[in-house]
Structure 1
Amino acid sequence: MTVLPTELEVVEKSAPPATAGGAPGGRSLRALVRDPGAALAGGYILLIVLMALFAPLIVRLSGWGPYEFDQQAIDPDLAGVPLGGWGGAGADHWFGVEPGSGRDIFARIVYGARVSMLIALSATALTTLLGVVLGMLAGYFGGRVDWVISRVMDFLMAFPALIFMIAILSALPAGNRSVMLVVVISLFGWPYLARVVRGQTMSLAQREFVEAARASGAGSATIVFREILPNLRSTIIVLTTLAVPGYIGTEAGLSFLGVGVVPPTPSWGQMIASSVNWYSVVPSYFAIPGAFLFLLVLSFTVLGDRLRAFLDPGGLR
């Protein structure tokens, strides 16, 4: 299980040449869309995002909510095994029903997409904010500021993140677990982004256009946000895109281990965990959420890799 996105180191190769004004040296959006891998990955991500946004409408069309039980779709004499083939899939239940409970799998997949995307994107946004701000502060000001921030980064990166996430979430109350997941994931995730941003900020701070801005009397805030930050734009985009699949996998893994989203709230990781006792009898119950999760993580990874290639002037043509 991916706890923290180890792919982030590849972004150090993707930084565009620094120029005053910060225009990233890369391909146009049209060229990226023409790439088959990026187009397929982006299309699937868009599908999941739309599914999450319009979950109530989609579920209403299917006829079953994520918390409704259909006792007529399971066999009580066989411990709740779904009636019919492929887990009870049919006109009433498009993806079948959960063994034992009779809840509609399609409805829980749709609402599970909302939970997974909300947690992953929120964690990515908070991680990016912390990583960019603290990394730029450490790289630009140096000295004591750099020493303090770097020691905090080293401290957090030295922890076995998964173990401490489990310990922290287990000790916290179950209420509003989604917010806690975002905070805990971000706590252990921002140093990886900050480390890359710090290094590139230190390099950019020595460039001629920054020296010219200092000579013209520009303050530190102006230099950081108008001169340095625009030159980090492509790096931040790639880092963010590569971070999302790691956080999706983290949320699913923590829910699988029982310290993530609290039942009966739908979650793909939670559904996979519940399917462990049934996969030999109803393999579709494991295969469906597993396939959705795998394809979403793969799509973000492919899109991030293609973005890195197109934003890198030496990348693919």
Structure 2
Amino acid sequence: MTLSSTGPTAPAVSEPGTAATTSDPRRHVVRALLRDPVAVACLGYIALIVLMAVFAPLIVRVSGWDPYEFDQSAIDPDLGGMPAGSWGGISGSHWLGVEPGSGRDVFARIVYGARSSMLIAFGATLLTTVLGMVFGLLAGYFGGRIDMLISRVMEFLMAFPALIFMIAVLSVLPADDRQYLLVMVISLFGWPYLARIVRGQTMSLKEREFVEAARASGASRTAIVFTEILPNLRSTILVMVTMAVPGYIGTEAGLSFLGVGLVPPTPSWGQMISSSVNWYAVVPTYFLVPGTFLALLVLSFMVLGDHIRTAAEPGGRS
């Protein structure tokens, strides 16, 4: 379980005007991804989960079951609440079976669990990206005491035992608005990883000739940062964002598995995996269904991020 990804190497930064004289580098990346069947498959699965999250109310209405609705007829009380029928109660009524002990529809909870995971992962990624860009640009461009202060904060947060802190804090915080609390707590420990890379590339870019030329022409510091430096960090930020999302999905699932993330009855894939521990020996489908959805989503984001990184590198474009 990771808070963010630090493995990928930032894509090389090209001089402004180079792409303009050849072609838009973003088109190169898109073309490279669309020509790769693995990347297309990953994009398709991610799009499927996102659509599932967005249209969750409509989807469960079609399926006929609410994620909080109990179906006592789908479980066998004489067998301790095990799903009636084979394969965890999979049937025409319950497409992915039912939850042991309660009879809640697994498909409906998977759909709403996707909404919870996407909301937290994308929310944390957005906040992490904003904080990482702002502090990375400040530290890298201005240097001096500002750089020293921000760097010390980043080092402290990166060295701090984040998981222990999350468990301790979330276990005492109220259950209300837990999704927003998770976004803030995860982002608190996630932004230094992006900020460190942005800082390093900003320090390199501010010494380039095109920045010196803008400075000599009288451009303000704000204009230099936003019109000269930031556009050259887009590939780096895109790759880091793509690699951060699966880390945050896994973090939310792990915290929910430990009982300090989303609290029942809010659907969560991690929570479903946690509750399946007592049943997987006799109802393995209840563990396999959310586990498969979670594993494929994390894998898709990681593989896609790796393909984007390769396509964004000058030598990897085609």
> Residues 267-278 of structure 1 correspond to what in structure 2 (within 5 A)?
267-278=268-279
Deviation at 1:34, TM superposition (A): 1.4
Deviation track 1:233-287 (CA, whole Å, cap 9, x = no partner) reads 1000000000000000000000000000011000000000000000001000000
Counterpart of 1:235 in structure 2: which amino acid? Answer: T
How has the CA–CA distance of structure 1 residues 316 and 207 changed in structure 2, closer, same or farther, with 3 Å as cutoff? closer
Deviation at 1:22, TM superposition (A): 7.6
Q: Aligned equivalents of 2:50 and 2:68: distance in 1? A: 21
In structure 2, what is the equivalent of residue 3 of structure 1? 3
In structure 1, what is the equivalent of residue 30 of structure 2? 29
In structure 1, what is the equivalent of residue 314 of structure 2? 313
Q: Aligned equivalents of 1:252 and 1:22: distance in 2? A: 40
Q: Aligned equivalents of 2:129 and 2:149: distance in 1? A: 19
Query: 1:42 touches 1:299 (CA, 8 Å); kept in 2?
Result: yes
Q: Aligned equivalents of 2:53 and 2:25: distance in 1? A: 34
SS at match of 1:314: helix
In structure 2, what is the equivalent of residue 79 of structure 1? 80
Deviation at 1:19, TM superposition (A): 1.8
Q: Aligned equivalents of 1:207 and 1:118: distance in 2? A: 39
Deviation at 1:315, TM superposition (A): 2.1
Deviation at 1:227, TM superposition (A): 0.2
Deviation track 1:8-33 (CA, whole Å, cap 9, x = no partner) reads xx232x12323259867462412311
SS at match of 1:39: helix
SS at match of 1:276: coil
In structure 1, what is the equivalent of residue 196 of structure 2? 195
In structure 1, what is the equivalent of residue 241 of structure 2? 240
SS at match of 1:97: coil
TM-score computed with the length of structure 2 as normaliser: 0.96
In structure 1, what is the equivalent of residue 142 of structure 2? 141
Q: Percent identity?
A: 71
Counterpart of 2:5 in structure 1: which amino acid? Answer: P
Deviation track 1:144-191 (CA, whole Å, cap 9, x = no partner) reads 110110011011111011111111111211111000000000000000
Counterpart of 2:221 in structure 1: which amino acid? Answer: S
Deviation track 1:108-156 (CA, whole Å, cap 9, x = no partner) reads 0000000000000000000000001100000000001101100110111
Q: Over the residues paired in the alignment, what is the CA RMSD in angstroms? A: 1.3
In structure 2, what is the equivalent of residue 298 of structure 1? 299
Deviation at 1:6, TM superposition (A): 3.2
> Residues 19-168 of structure 1 correspond to what in structure 2 (within 5 A)?
19-20=16-17, 25=25, 27-168=28-169
Query: 2:178 touches 2:262 (CA, 8 Å); kept in 1?
Result: yes
TM-score computed with the length of structure 1 as normaliser: 0.96
Query: 2:131 touches 2:191 (CA, 8 Å); kept in 1?
Result: yes
Q: Aligned equivalents of 1:20 and 1:161: distance in 2? A: 42
Query: 1:21 touches 1:231 (CA, 8 Å); kept in 2?
Result: no
Please say if 1:18 is aligned against 2:15: yes
Query: 1:169 touches 1:260 (CA, 8 Å); kept in 2?
Result: yes
Q: Aligned equivalents of 2:237 and 2:130: distance in 1? A: 10
Query: 2:29 touches 2:317 (CA, 8 Å); kept in 1?
Result: no
Query: 2:19 touches 2:25 (CA, 8 Å); kept in 1?
Result: no
Any gaps of 5 or more consecutive residues in structure 1?
A: none
Counterpart of 2:100 in structure 1: which amino acid? Answer: P
SS at match of 2:60: helix
Query: 1:16 touches 1:311 (CA, 8 Å); kept in 2?
Result: no
Query: 1:137 touches 1:145 (CA, 8 Å); kept in 2?
Result: yes
Deviation at 1:37, TM superposition (A): 1.2
Q: Aligned equivalents of 1:91 and 1:171: distance in 2? A: 42
Q: Aligned equivalents of 1:38 and 1:49: distance in 2? A: 16
Query: 2:3 touches 2:190 (CA, 8 Å); kept in 1?
Result: no
Counterpart of 1:164 in structure 2: which amino acid? Answer: F
Query: 1:18 touches 1:204 (CA, 8 Å); kept in 2?
Result: no
Query: 1:181 touches 1:260 (CA, 8 Å); kept in 2?
Result: yes
Deviation at 1:64, TM superposition (A): 0.5
Q: Aligned equivalents of 2:139 and 2:18: distance in 1? A: 22
Deviation track 1:68-99 (CA, whole Å, cap 9, x = no partner) reads 00000000111100010110000010000000
Query: 1:21 touches 1:227 (CA, 8 Å); kept in 2?
Result: no
In structure 2, what is the equivalent of residue 281 of structure 1? 282
Q: Aligned equivalents of 2:244 and 2:191: distance in 1? A: 10
Q: How many residue pairs were aligned?
A: 314
Q: Aligned equivalents of 1:314 and 1:70: distance in 2? A: 57
Deviation at 1:36, TM superposition (A): 1.0
